[in-house]
């Protein structure tokens, strides 16, 4: 039979001293605290006594580093899947803020439709690629659970899709914390969210630079 549950883990805190929107830029690694957060997520799954049979990971450095504790704890070989990657964003590499945009009129065009959004990958497209890899991971894992290590917005799109929330939203209203675990399972012919944990909340991470 297919997998029991799917656990979506967001990467830990990133070393980002300039507070830029890092997006898909290479070489953005976890901070020291970020590594501790990744360890906490793996420990949370181990403490639950779940059998983890497969591990899928976004290709970016911060997600690959966040997957390492799960890889060690459950003796798994990670499968890199581009569909788990951070969305592209026109503001990538910038220290984004209202003042920054107001001083650069050429950036206004990217803000023309926040419901799409016009500055990056469409919300619906993000949700569809995430749900596609979730379906495949569920079908291809014959026993136990699957872990997918991804990013805030892709996981948020899954959360909103499965709970019937509107995909367009303010980034300030996202639930998906650093190193949080969103758990879903198949019920009938659809996936349903059955859990959300924030095992690193006490570490008080600095969450900046996400798309």
The residue count of the chain comes to 211
pLDDT band at 2 (very low <50, low <70, confident <90, very high): confident
The whole-number pLDDT of residue 107 equals 64
The whole-number pLDDT of residue 102 equals 52
pTM value surpassing 0.95: no
Q: What is the CATH number that goes with domain 5-203?
A: 3.40.50.1240
Has residue 100 got a pLDDT over 70?
A: no
The whole-number pLDDT of residue 91 equals 80
The whole-number pLDDT of residue 119 equals 82
Ordered alpha helix ranges (H), 1-47? 32-47
Contact 64, 84 (CB under 8 A): no
The kind and range of the H/E element at 150 are strand 145-150
**CA 200, CA 204: separation in Å to the nearest integer?**
7
Q: Write out the DSSP string of 148-198.
A: EEE-HHHHHHHHHHHHT--S---GGG----TT-EEEEEEETTEEEEEEEE-
Q: Are strands 5-10 and 79-80 parallel, antiparallel or unpaired?
A: unpaired
Query: Is the model more confident about 172 or about 165?
Result: 165
Contact 55, 71 (CB under 8 A): yes
Query: Is the model more confident about 199 or about 101?
Result: 199
pLDDT band at 110 (very low <50, low <70, confident <90, very high): low
Average pLDDT over residues 106-112: 66
What average pLDDT is seen over the chain? 91
Q: What is the pLDDT of residues 71-93, one digit of tens each?
A: 999 999 999 999 999 999 888 88
Has residue 171 got a pLDDT over 80?
A: yes
Q: Above pLDDT 90, what percent of the chain? A: 74
The whole-number pLDDT of residue 132 equals 98
Query: Is the model more confident about 109 or about 183?
Result: 183
Q: What is the pLDDT of residues 127-138, one digit of tens each?
A: 999 999 999 999
Longest dimension (CA), the chain: 57
Q: Above pLDDT 70, what percent of the chain? A: 92
**CA 87, CA 140: separation in Å to the nearest integer?**
25
pLDDT band at 210 (very low <50, low <70, confident <90, very high): confident
Q: What is the pLDDT of residues 33-71, one digit of tens each?
A: 999 999 999 999 999 999 999 999 999 999 999 999 999
Cβ atoms < 10 Å from Cβ of 193: 16
| Of 73, 32, 54, nearest in space to 149 by CA | 54
């Amino acid at each position: 039979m297919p997998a029991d549950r799917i656990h979506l883990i967001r990467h830990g805190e990133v070393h980002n001293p300039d507070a830029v929107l890092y997006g898909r830029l290479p070489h953005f690694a976890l901070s020291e605290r970020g590594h501790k957060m990744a360890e906490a997520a793996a420990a949370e799954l181990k403490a639950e006594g779940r059998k983890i049979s497969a591990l899928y990971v976004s290709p970016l450095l911060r997600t690959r580093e966040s997957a390492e504790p799960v890889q060690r704890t459950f003796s798994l070989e990670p499968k890199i899947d581009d569909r788990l990657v951070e969305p592209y964003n026109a503001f990538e590499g910038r220290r984004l803020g209202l003042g920054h945009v107001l001083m650069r009129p050429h950036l206004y065009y990217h803000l023309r439709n926040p419901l799409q959004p016009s500055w990056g990958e469409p919300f619906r497209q993000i949700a569809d690629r995430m749900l596609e890899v979730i379906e495949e991971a569920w079908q291809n894992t014959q026993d136990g659970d699957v872990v997918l290590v991804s990013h805030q917005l892709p996981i948020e799109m899954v959360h909103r899709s499965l709970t019937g929330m509107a995909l367009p939203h303010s980034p300030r209203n996202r639930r998906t914390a650093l190193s949080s675990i969103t758990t879903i399972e198949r019920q009938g012919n659809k996936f349903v969210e059955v859990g959300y944990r924030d095992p690193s909340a006490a570490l008080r991470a600095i969450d900046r630079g996400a798309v």
